[in-house]
Amino acid sequence: MPLVRIDVGEAVKREKKLLLADAVYDAMRATIGIPEGDEFVMLTAHADGELIADPSFMGMTRTGEFVVVQITLRRGRSTEKKQALYREIARLFEERTAIAPDNVMIVLTENDLDDWSFGRGEAQYVLNPPAGAR
């Protein structure tokens, strides 16, 4: 049930943005057990000066291809699973789009079952919790 937001510069073409979305989804399926079809992604392109990142913070070498991936998901994954997710996203971005791992910032925000409504003004996971969450 993750909600993914991917922010890029406006120079990134639509096709490349779609590859980024697919890469995040594939990485989540491979590392943190996201079920098939659970894909909700917002792709946002920013004009020059609207996506700001220090080019060398934490020892990175960032360029104009800087990408921010924000994932909101249910609480409970181990640090090891989260690190595997980070590695897989960076690997797939580089493999599929040639975006260097130094240009990939990933932020996870965790919440609980009652923090989600998928429509109809209902908290579906409160009314019908997914397997393993009961």
User: How far is it, in rounded angstroms, from Cα 26 to Cα 12?
Assistant: 20
**Token pair in block for residue 63:** 């360029």
* 55 catalytic residue (yes or no): no
Collect all residues with Cβ–Cβ distance below 8 Å to 126 and sequence separation of at least 6: 113, 114
- Cβ 21 vs Cβ 4: under 8 Å: yes
Catalytic residue among 2, 35, 55, 129: 2
**Token pair in block for residue 72:** 């909101």
Catalytic amino acids? Answer: 2
